């Protein structure tokens, strides 16, 4: 039983960290929308709508992870969101879109793509 408590404690810490990451990312969509606009594939209509929608759902999902009643639906919603934003991450890497800071590094841009799978696994792992 001692190992189970330890595992549950680690899972809770992982959930809080992930929640904070999504809450921060969601907030940044509203504070710095131009950074997110620059990585939107040009084929998408009304890209600002997608920037704000993805930010809203990151905030909603990040908060939902902290509320037991909504944890599972928030996790599944975030998984869908992570898949939905993958084209923007691919566009950013393929076109080497410069948004400043570490995200301007082509290696980091390409690493973001497989990191989506890591985030999806992380979200799925803490859903219960």
Which residue range(s) make up the domain with 89?
2-125
The rounded Cα 29 to chain-centroid distance in angstroms is 11
Q: What is the pLDDT of residues 18-65, one digit of tens each?
A: 999 999 999 999 999 999 999 999 999 999 999 999 999 999 999 999
Report the candidate in 92, 77, 64 with the shortest Cα–Cα distance to residue 124: 77
> How many CB atoms within 10 Å of residue 64?
22
Listed in sequence order, the residues at least 6 apart from 76 whose beta carbon sits closer than 8 Å to its beta carbon are 127
When divided into structural domains, the chain yields a total of: 1
pTM of the model: 0.91
CB 97 within 8 A of CB 38: yes
């Amino acid at each position: 039983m001692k190992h189970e408590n330890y595992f549950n404690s680690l899972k809770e810490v992982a959930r809080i960290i992930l929640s904070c990451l999504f809450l921060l990312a969601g907030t940044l969509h509203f504070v710095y929308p131009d950074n997110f606009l620059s990585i939107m594939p040009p084929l998408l209509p009304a890209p600002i709508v997608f920037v704000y929608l993805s930010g809203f759902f990151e905030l909603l999902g990040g908060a939902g992870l902290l509320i037991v009643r909504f944890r599972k639906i928030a996790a599944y919603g975030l998984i869908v969101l992570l898949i939905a934003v993958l084209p923007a991450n691919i566009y950013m890497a393929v076109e080497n879109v410069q948004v400043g800071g570490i995200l301007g590094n082509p290696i980091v841009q390409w690493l973001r793509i497989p990191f989506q799978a890591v985030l999806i696994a992380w979200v799925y792992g803490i859903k219960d």
